[in-house]
Amino acid sequence: MTNLIDNVRAQLDELASRNLTRHRRTAETPCAPRQVVDGRDMLAFCSNDYLGLAAHPRVVAALREGASLYGAGSGASHLVSGHSRAHALLEERLAAFEAPHLESARALYFCTGYMANLAVLTGLGSAPDAMIFSEALNHASLIDGARLARAGVTVYPHGDVAALEEKLAASEAPTKIVVTDSVFSMDGDLAPLPQLLALCERHGAWLVVDDAHGFGVLGDRGRGALEHFGLRSPNLVYIGTLGKAAGVGGAFIAAHEDVIELMIQRARPYIYTTAAAPALAHALLASVDIIEGDEGEKRRADLRARIAQLDAGLRLERWQRPVSTTAIQPIIIGANDEAMAVAARLHEQGLWVPAIRPPTVAVGTARLRVTLSAAHTEQDVAQLITALNQLERTWA
Ligand code: PMP
Q: What confidence tens digit (pLDDT) does each residue in 237-252 have?
A: 999 999 999 999 999 9
Q: Return the percentage of the chain with pLDDT > 90, whole number.
A: 97
pLDDT tens by residue, 23-78 = 999 999 999 999 999 999 999 999 999 999 999 999 999 999 999 999 999 999 99
Ligand 1 atom 13, closest CA? 113
DSSP letters for 31-99? SSSEEEETTEEEEE-----TTS-TT-HHHHHHHHHHHHHH-S---SBIIIII--HHHHHHHHHHHHHHG
User: What average pLDDT score do residues 86-110 get?
Assistant: 98
Under a CB-based contact definition with an 8 Å cutoff, are residues 28 and 36 in contact?
A: yes
Q: What is residue 19's predicted lDDT score, i.e. its pLDDT?
A: 84
In this predicted structure, the answer to whether residue 20 has a pLDDT above a threshold of 90 is no
Residue 396 — very low, low, confident or very high, per pLDDT cuts 50/70/90?
Answer: confident
Mean pLDDT of 336-351: 96
Q: Say which residues have a Cβ less than 8 Å from residue 198's Cβ, sequence separation at least 6.
A: none
Q: Is the pLDDT confidence value at 367 over 80? A: yes
Residues with C-beta less than 6 Å from any ligand 1 atom: 112-114, 117, 139, 141, 181, 185, 210, 212-213, 241, 243, 251
Integer Cα distance of 254 and 110 in angstroms = 11
Give the Å distances, CA to CA, from 283 to 65, 172, 254: 8, 45, 19
Average pLDDT of the segment spanning 99-104: 98
- The pLDDT tens digits of the residues spanning 185-204 come to 999 999 999 999 999 999 99
386 CA distance to ligand 1 centroid (A)?
31
Closest to 210 measured CA to CA, from 175, 178, 165, 258: 178
**Rounded Cα gap, residues 281 and 70, in angstroms:** 10
Return the CATH number of the domain spanning residue range 57-292.
Answer: 3.40.640.10
State the binding site.
Answer: 22, 113-114, 139, 185, 213, 241, 360
**Torsion angle of C-alpha atoms 359, 364, 368, 370, degrees rounded to 10:** -80
Strands (E), 335-365: 351-352, 355-356
CA dist., res. 328 & res. 187, Å (int): 7
Q: What ipTM, to 2 d.p.?
A: 0.99
CA of 242 to the centre of ligand 1 (A): 9
Mean residue pLDDT of the chain comes to 97
Give me the pLDDT at residue 1, please: 60
Asked if 78 and 203 count as a contact pair (C-beta separation under 8 A), the reply is no
pLDDT of residue 73: 98
116: three-class secondary structure by DSSP: helix
Nearest Cα neighbor of 133 from 196, 58, 227 is: 196
Query: Crossing angle, helix 278-292 and helix 85-98, to 10 degrees?
Result: 30
Query: From the CA of 113, how far away is ligand 1's center (Å)?
Result: 5
Mutate to test the pocket of ligand 1, among 118, 139, 211 (most ligand atoms within 8 A of CB): 139
**Closest atom, ligand 1, to C-alpha of 181:** 3
* CATH, range 20-49+294-394: 3.90.1150.10
* Nearest protein CA to atom 8 of ligand 1, as residue: 185
**Domain residue extents for the chain:** 20-49+294-394, 57-292
pLDDT, position 320: 95
Q: Are residues 291 and 144 in contact, defined by beta-carbon separation less than 8 angstroms?
A: no
Q: What percent of the chain has pLDDT over 70?
A: 100
Predicted pLDDT at 249: 98
CA of 241 to the centre of ligand 1 (A): 7
Strands (E), the chain: 34-37, 40-44, 105-110, 130-135, 152-156, 175-181, 205-210, 236-241, 251-256, 328-334, 351-352, 355-356, 366-371
Cα–Cα distance for residue pair 94/284, rounded to 1 Å = 10
Counting ligand 1 atoms within 8 A of each CB, the residue from 111, 118, 185 with the most, and so the one to mutate, is 185
SS3 label, residue 258: helix
Q: How far apart are CA 93 and CA 87, in angstroms?
A: 10
Q: Which residues contact 215 (CB under 8 A, 6 or more apart)?
A: 222, 223, 224, 225, 240, 241, 242, 244, 245, 246
- At 130, the pLDDT band (50, 70, 90 cuts) reads very high
Beta pairing, strands 152-156 & 130-135: parallel
